[in-house]
Amino acid sequence: MTGEPMVKAEGVHKSYGAAHILRGIDLEVQNGEVFCLVGPSGSGKSTFLRCINHLERVDGGRLSVDGQLVGYREKNGKLYELKDSEVAVQRRDIGMVFQRFNLFPHMTALANVMEAPIQVKGESKAVARERAERLLDRVGLRDKMGNYPSQLSGGQQQRVAIARALAMEPKLMLFDEPTSALDPELVGDVLDVMRDLAESGMTMIVVTHEMGFAREVGDSLVFMDGGVVVESGNPRDVLGNPQHDRTKAFLSKVL
Ligand SMILES: Nc1ncnc2c1ncn2[C@@H]1O[C@H](COP(=O)(O)OP(=O)(O)OP(=O)(O)O)[C@@H](O)[C@H]1O
Ligand SMILES: [Mg+2]
């Protein structure tokens, strides 16, 4: 892993009104890395992902994806906010998978996966369909392509959501607790798809409470609390031998 990091956060701050949520996040996610983000509820994990994906604008520090500032352009040492249309172009390259799958309920699995490349990139139906079929096959849903979301289990819906994000051929995938809304017996299939994606070299940031996945698949792990990075490193080290009391207290509850 060499060259520019895929994500670089330097002193990133974010407030909602008077609530100061991110209080100076510093981290780097390298190309091809599986980067796990863990921490207690309310620590700012989702907020940070939303900043990376331009759903929120950072209000202090610098955040860049693949060498490009998120939401801003720098000119002669000054930052200028990007227009919505420019933000949309940056966002295309980032796939996001949420806890709730947010599939279009009136569309089949296949149509869900075909939709964005056609609407956003102006791709032909034939090309979009060919890719969607390949992706649904890859996530183990070859025989469910014609099903509507209501005809799929939660785990199957989440795998459609992953295929849908991949259809835009992102350079970075963000996962926000992708398995925490699933029945336990459905978690494994989704984690298998994520493991396969990691092996293919995708750069992934994964907010998760699945410490087994983090330990096995993760290249780095960050423990966040109160809007700052408390501790980071190799997942096996951080989980096996946490250095900070806050990390120890958190892990004693989830492990
Ligand atoms: N749009 C918003 N407006 C105001 N406050 C918000 C908004 N979004 C999040 N917050 C607040 O920011 C804090 C961090 O929320 P965030 O969702 O990032 O936490 P989290 O670490 O993802 O927690 P969880 O593990 O429960 O998902 C919380 O106190 C939350 O109430
Ligand atoms: Mg969250």
* Minimal-distance CA residue to ligand 1 atom 6: 16
* Minimal-distance CA residue to ligand 1 atom 27: 41
Both structure tokens of 245: 């009391």
Mean pLDDT (whole number) for 203-220 = 96
Mean pLDDT (whole number) for 70-83 = 90
Q: Is the dihedral of CA 66, 100, 19, 238 positive or negative?
A: negative
Three-state SS letters, 182-225: CCHHHHHHHHHHHHHHHHCCCEEEEECCCHHHHHHHCCEEEEEE
Query: Which range (16-25, 64-73, 102-111) has the least confidence?
Result: 64-73
Instruction: Count CB atoms within 10 A of the CB of residue 42.
Output: 12
- Cβ < 5 A residues, ion ligand 2: 46
Mean pLDDT (whole number) for 194-211 = 96
Determine if ligand 1 sits within 6 Å of the CB of residue 41: yes
Q: Which residues in 12-24 are b (16+ Cβ under 10 Å) and which e?
A: bbbeeeeebbbbe
pLDDT band per the 50, 70, 90 thresholds, residue 79: confident
pLDDT digits (tens, 9 = 90+) for 155-186: 999 999 999 999 999 999 999 999 999 999 99
Write the single-letter amino acid at 42: G
pLDDT band per the 50, 70, 90 thresholds, residue 1: very low
